[in-house]
Amino acid sequence: MHVHNYEKLWLLASLALIVGFISTIVYGAVGAGVVMVNDEGGQVNASGLSEHPEFNDPGVRKVGPNEYEAYVVAQQFAFSPDPIEVPANSTVTFYVTSRDVVHGFEVAGTNANAMVVPGEVSKMTVEFNETDEYGVVCNEYCGQAHHDMAGEVIVKEPGNFTLDDAGESTTAQATNGTDETANGTGES
Ligand SMILES: [Cu+2]
């Protein structure tokens, strides 16, 4: 069978396009450090958050050198705590859940962006290298004042950062590694 040269050229060109499109999808999915939020964060009783060992007192905990966990509760129409304060040069794992309806939790300008579903914990990790301020937005329509639902992550100079009382008030893990930053004075 004879295939005309132009025909071959078009076949090749369309093949290259298909390969190109698939490559961009694969790169976007695995090459750019994109991680999907899955069910790793576990589940909670949305109406019993006040009895939860961490979500009863949302806040930032130190769990290792330069490693922090931030427990965040979303509810109509605010995030708690707000602002979320963390030190620069740290790795922060956010655990976010909702007290009422479905919300969004997006730390604008970072890779953190998740749906927040009552009963589920969305877990995501962000590295903060420099002092900065990031807006936190709810990007799931959650009710009449949804457009007002915003918060802030403040990345502070490590020397200016102290954990507030929430960082030392709960459970065994917090009593291990917090002493060096626990000045006992709370927020200044
Ligand atoms: Cu909302």
User: Ligand 1 center to residue 63 CA distance, Å?
Assistant: 30
- Residue found by looking up tokens 């065994």 in the block: 172
Residue 96 clears pLDDT 50, i.e. is over it: yes
Sign of CA dihedral 108, 146, 39, 155: positive
User: Ligand 1 center to residue 115 CA distance, Å?
Assistant: 10
Per DSSP, the three-state class of 147 is helix
Query: Domain map of the chain by residue range?
Result: 1-34, 39-177
Q: What is the pLDDT of residue 157?
A: 92
Of the pLDDT bands very low, low, confident and very high (cuts 50, 70, 90), residue 39 is: confident
Q: What is the pLDDT of residues 40-71, one digit of tens each?
A: 888 999 888 988 999 999 999 999 999 999 99
Q: What is the pLDDT of residues 11-28, one digit of tens each?
A: 999 999 999 999 999 988
Rounded Cα–Cα distance for residues 68 and 92 (Å): 5
Residues, CB-to-ion distance under 5 Å, ligand 1: 138, 142, 146, 149
Report H helices in 27-180: 171-177
User: Ligand 1 center to residue 42 CA distance, Å?
Assistant: 22
User: Ligand 1 center to residue 59 CA distance, Å?
Assistant: 20
User: Ligand 1 center to residue 138 CA distance, Å?
Assistant: 4
Give percent of the chain with pLDDT exceeding 70: 87
Choose among 61, 63, 95, 62: nearest CA to 79.
95
More confident residue, 145 or 159: 145
DSSP codes, 2-24: ---HHHHHHHHHHHHHHHHHHHH
**Residue 122: count of CB within 10 angstroms of its CB:** 25
User: Ligand 1 center to residue 175 CA distance, Å?
Assistant: 35
User: Ligand 1 center to residue 143 CA distance, Å?
Assistant: 7
Q: What is the pLDDT of residue 84?
A: 94
| Domain 39-177 in this protein, CATH class | mainly beta
User: For the whole model, what pTM was predicted?
Assistant: 0.74
